[in-house]
Chains A and B, each alone.
Chain A
Amino acid sequence: DAGVIQSPRHEVTEMGQEVTLRCKPISGHNSLFWYRQTMMRGLELLIYFNNNVPIDDSGMPEDRFSAKMPNASFSTLKIQPSEPRDSAVYFCASSDRENTEAFFGQGTRLTVV
């Protein structure tokens, strides 16, 4: 398996633009997590899904953030409109019910100017 795949690896956008981050979890995993990592706040859980259903989105910072998981092999995290304070590395991770270990993607480094 290729692991968790995120795209793009890097994204630079202007303030006010819409940004969409994409994630393909490991096949067979039933939980998917979106994290944000910054120097100031460390690693924050934004939202997680179980069997494609959002379970906890309490970490989503504002209404500008939204996440979807239309099927078991794809998820998106959208920021609209983006702001400079959204600049961070965004990680997607997935896990299966038996092991609970989280497998992380390489991350998307987002810069909003």
Chain B
Amino acid sequence: GNSVTQMEGPVTLSEEAFLTINCTYTATGYPSLFWYVQYPGEGLQLLLKATKADDKGSNKGFEATYRKETTSFHLEKGSVQVSDSAVYFCALSDLSTNAGKSTFGDGTTLTVKP
């Protein structure tokens, strides 16, 4: 079956530091990969996505590249801000094997200190 493993948290960084949150996946088909962000008291919202190998998703300074050879989709940002403090979820969805059902990682809590 499908699974997603992401870096355990929590992660605490100073403002303007470089961020990497690791994510690896296992899938039987050809999944699309996603990063979602959850701010306190809110639901998850899509941060970025990539639908095929070597695609790079980007948004709000965050980037992740779909690496099929290493089955990875690591999230990076060059300079984090206090407002980036949130929980980040890596996820995959495979239309070839299910009706758009997403498989989520456990989430990584990021705290950015001024």
Across-interface contacts of A48 in B (CB, < 8 A): 99, 101
Q: Is the CB of A101 within 8 A of B101?
A: no
**25 CB < 8 A contacts A-B:** A4-B43, A30-B99, A31-B100, A33-B101, A42-B106, A42-B107, A43-B89, A43-B106, A48-B101, A50-B99, A95-B93, A95-B100, A100-B32, A100-B93, A101-B34, A101-B46, A101-B49, A102-B36, A102-B93, A102-B100, A103-B46, A104-B43, A104-B45, A106-B42, A107-B43
Question: Which B residues have a C-beta under 8 Å from some C-beta of A?
Answer: 32, 34, 36, 42-46, 49, 89, 91, 93, 95, 98-102, 104, 106-107
Give the residue of B44, B93, B95, B99 whose beta carbon is less than 8 angstroms from that of A55. Answer: B99
* Chain A residues near B100 (CB-CB < 8 A): 30-31, 50, 95-97, 100, 102
